[in-house]
Structure 1
C-alpha cells in the first residue's frame, strides 16, 4: 500500500482519445478500473481492475464499489464517458465522495433539465421547448420563429442535431432528431427539444469545479461542418485566447454552474458567442471529448487528467499554465455514404507544428460522411502544436492535403 490516493475509474473509452489522461494520472494515483471486459492497453496504468457484466447499470457499479471500498478504501470516483457519468454519480453518492450528487449530474445529462434550471435563474440561453410530436414541434417552431434547432434530449457529440429553416424542412428532419440514438443512450418518452437558433460562433470551456469555485482551464473554438448538421470537424485551443479575459463570458459560465448547482467535478460547457453576448448551449458533467483537453494540455501545460483526478478526490486542482501555444485538431471523412475503404494513409508533411497524424480506419471497413457517419465515420485526424492560430491552420490544411484514401461503393444487398 502506498500513500497515493486510490481512484476508481469507470470505463475508459478509445485508446487514441483517452490514453493521455491515464498516462498523466497513473504516476500520482493508484487506479482501479471497472470494465465490462479484460483490460488490454490500460493494464500498464492500473493498480488493479474489476471486470463486471456491465458498467451501464448503477446498481452493479455500486455493489462492486462498496465491496472494493470495504477492503481498500476509495478516495475518489472518476468517469469521462457520457453514457456512464450518471451511474458513476450513484457510486460516489453511495461512498460519500465528491461528485456524489445524482441530481446535479442529471441536470447536465438531461438537456431539458439543464434548460429548465438555467431559465429559472435567468442565465442567457436559446429558448427551448420539449415536444412530443412533429405537430407539437411545428407549433413551437412557429412561435419561436425559424430557423430553429432540433436536438435530442440526451445525446452527445452533436448527434441528431439539425438546423431547420421552415416547416417543410422540420417535417423532413423530425425523424433524424427523434430517432437518432446510440446503444448506450438513455430513453425518454419525450426526447426532442425545439430550440431557438443562436447565431454566432461556438466555443467550449472545460472547467474544474472545487467546492463551488469554477475555474476554466481549456477554451476551444469549434469548427463546424456539414450543414445543416452540426458536425464538429475540428477544434483550436489558444492559450492566449482573448475570450479568457472576457468578464461577461466568465460571469455567464459561473452563473450557469450556480444555476444547475454544480459544486464538484469537471464540466465541458458549450457556448454560442452571439451579437447579444454568450449563450449557454449545454453543460456536460465530464471532461471534453474530441481531444480538446489534450490540445489544452499541449497549449497551456495544464493537465486535464490530473485536474479531474484531484477534484474527484476532493483536492484542490493545479491549474496554472506554464506555456502559451496553440493546439489544433481536424477530423477527416470520406465523400460518399457506404464507402468501403481500400487504403488510408498520409504522405510525408513539411508544415508547421505537426503533432500527430492518425489513421482511424483500416482497409475493408465501411464508412460514411456526416450525418450517417458522424464521429464514428471519421477515417483519420491530425493535430498540431504551434505558436499561432494561423500556423495551426497552415499545418492542418497541409495534413488534409497529405491525406490519401481510396475506396469503392459497398455492394448492394441482394
Structure 2
C-alpha cells in the first residue's frame, strides 16, 4: 500500500484528455501508479478516477490559451512537474500549457509544425530529408494540376488529421474527381484550423512497407524505443488494420536509419517528449511520411511494452517532467494486434462475441469494442470508430505472432439487429 507521504512525494503531472478507454487505459494506469495525475477533460471522469489525484472539467481541451490560464492557477497553488497529452487533436493546445508553466515540450510552433503536414514537408524539403513530393491544394482543379506534375498514382491526404482519416490512393484523373470531396470533407472529432489555404495534400504514392517509430527525445537526443510494422487494408483507403512490433527489429540497430531519425527531429525542432514517426521503406530507402508529437495510437505502445518490457507511459511521463527512466529492453519478443470490422455500412450490432476456446495460447487480449445497438461501418465510413473488436498476441517470432492473430480471427463473431 502507498502511504500518504509517498503519494505526496510523487511528481505532479498534468494530463490533457484521457482518450478511449479500450486504447489508453493501460497508459493512465501506469502513470497513476508513479505520478500525481491531474486530468483536464470536458466531462467528469468515470473509469479514469482510480488513477487520478484530481481533475478539472473544461468547456474545451483544444483551446490552448484558455487551458494555459486554468493550469497557471493550479500550478501556482501546487506546481506541476510536467504536462502530457497522447491525443493528436490536443497536443498543440497542450504545448500552450507547457509553455505557460515552463515545462518540457512547451513550444506550440514546433508542435504545429508537426500537426500541419504542409509545414512538415516544407521544413524537411529544405533539409534534404527523403520524403514524397507534396503539394497543398484547395480545389479539385489544383489537385489535378498537382497530380499531373507529380504523376499518378498519387495520395490524397488531409493536411492535419490522424488515424489515416481521409487518406486515399488515386490512380487517375477520374478517380481524383471522385475522391477529392472525400478527403476535403473528412472532419476529425475536433476542428482543425489553418492560417493558409490548401487543406488537402496531393502527394507522390510511395511503394514499400510502412513502419512507425516510437521514440523518446531528451534535450534533442532521439532514442527509438520500438518499431511497428503496419498492416493496411480496405484499398484504395489506408485503414490500419493491424501492427507488429519486434523487439529485435533490425532497423533499431541501423546506424543510417538512426541518423535519419535524428536529423528529422533536429530539422523540425522537436527536443523533448515522445514522438511517433512514420516512414515508407522504399526500394530507394526510408522516406518520411509524418512525425507526430505524441505516443503512437492503435495500441502500438502496448505492443512495444509486451515485446520489449519497456513501459512507454513511464518513459513518456518522465520525459515530460525532465526525468530519466529505464530505456533498455528487458524482453526480446514479438507482439501484434489485429482489428475487426463489420462487413457492410450502417450495421446495427446485435452482439459481438469472442469464443475464448478458439483463441491460440499466444493471444494476450481479446476485447469487444462495439456495444449492442451501436451502428457501425467498415472503412472508409467507419475508420477507427467502426472497429468492433481487437486481439493482441505475443510470441517468440513474427511468424508465430501473425499465425496466432490469423487464427484468432475465427473466434470473433457478430450478429445484426
Structure 2 length-normalised TM: 0.96
Q: Distance in 1 between matches of 2:372 and 2:186?
A: 27
The separation in 2 between residues aligned to 1:56 and 1:274, in whole angstroms, is 36
Asked whether the equivalents of residues 358 and 410 of structure 2 are also in contact (C-alpha less than 8 Å), the reply is: no
Deviation at 1:352, TM superposition (A): 3.6
SS of alignment partner, residue 192 of structure 2: coil
1:272 to 269, 280, 292: 280
The answer (yes or no) to whether the contact 2:164–2:239 under 8 Å persists in 1 is yes
Q: CA deviation at 1:130?
A: 0.6
Post-superposition CA distance 1:206-230 (Å, at most 9, x none): 0000000000002000000001100
* C-alpha contact 1:352 1:392 (8 A) present in aligned 2: no
Give, in whole Å, the separation in 2 of the partners of 1:127 and 1:133: 18
Q: What residue number does 2:200 align with? A: 192
Q: Does 1:221 align with 2:239?
A: no
Q: Please report how far the alpha carbon of residue 185 of structure 1 lies from its aligned counterpart in structure 2 after TM superposition.
A: 3.0
1:106 Cα shift? Answer: 0.7
For residues 145-171 of structure 1, give each alpha carbon's deviation from its aligned partner in whole angstroms, at most 9, with x where no partner exists. 110000000100000000000111111
1:172 aligns with 2:172: no
Q: How much has 1:24 moved relative to structure 2?
A: 1.4
- 1:339 corresponds to 2:347: yes
Q: Check whether the contact 1:154–1:185 (CA below 8 A) recurs between aligned residues.
A: no
Q: What is the distance in 1 between the residues matched to 2:392 and 2:376?
A: 22
Measure, in 2, the Cα distance between the counterparts of 1:53 and 1:228: 38
8 Å contact from structure 1 (residues 352, 386) kept in 2: no
Contact 1:152 1:161 in 2 (8 A): yes
Q: In terms of mean alpha carbon deviation, does 143-152 or 313-322 score higher?
A: 313-322
* Residue of structure 2 equivalent to 1:328: 336
Q: What does residue 318 of structure 2 align with?
A: 310
SS at match of 1:156: coil
How many angstroms apart in 2 are the aligned matches of 1:342 and 1:44?
Answer: 31
Unaligned runs of 5+ in 2: none
Check if 1:256 corresponds to 2:264.
yes
In the alignment, structure 1 residue 88 sits paired with structure 2 residue 94: yes
Kept in 2: contact 1:134–1:174 (CA 8 A): yes
What count of residue pairs does the alignment treat as equivalent?
408
Alignment-derived partner of residue 394 in structure 1: 403
Q: CA deviation at 1:402?
A: 1.1
Moved more, 214-223 or 334-343: 334-343
1:75 alignment counterpart = 81
Structure 1 runs of 4+ off > 6 angstroms? Answer: none
Partner of 1:412: none
* Distance across 1 between alignment mates of 2:261 and 2:366: 34
User: Is residue 2:294 matched to residue 1:286?
Assistant: yes
2: CA distance, partners of 1:27 / 1:302: 16
Partner in structure 2 of residue 57 of structure 1: 63
Question: Deviations for 1:277-331, whole angstroms, at most 9, x for unmatched residues?
Answer: 0000000000000000000001101110011101100122321100101111000
Give the structure-1-normalised TM-score. 0.97
What's the offset of the Cα at 1:353? 0.8
Separation in structure 2 between the aligned mates of residue 35 and residue 60 of structure 1, nearest angstrom: 13
In 2, the alpha carbon distance for the partners of 1:363 and 1:74 equals 41
Question: Separation in 1 of the partners of 2:15 and 2:351?
Answer: 36
2:38 to 32, 50, 53: 32
Give the SS at the match of 1:309.
Answer: helix
Deviation, 1:394, is 1.4
Q: Is residue 3 from structure 1 mapped to residue 12 from structure 2 by the alignment?
A: no
SS state at 1:379 partner:
strand
Distance of 2:59 and 2:176 partners within structure 1:
41
Residue pair 1:352, 1:391 contacting (<8 A) in 2 also: no
Q: Could you say what secondary structure the match of 2:119 adopts? A: helix
SS at match of 1:281: strand
C-alpha contact (below 8 Å) 2:226/2:252 kept by paired residues: no
**Distance (whole Å) between structure 2 residues aligned to residue 73 and residue 351 of structure 1:** 48
Shift of 1:350: 4.4
Shift of 1:53: 2.0
Taking the aligned partners of 2:118 and 2:324, their CA distance within structure 1 comes to: 31
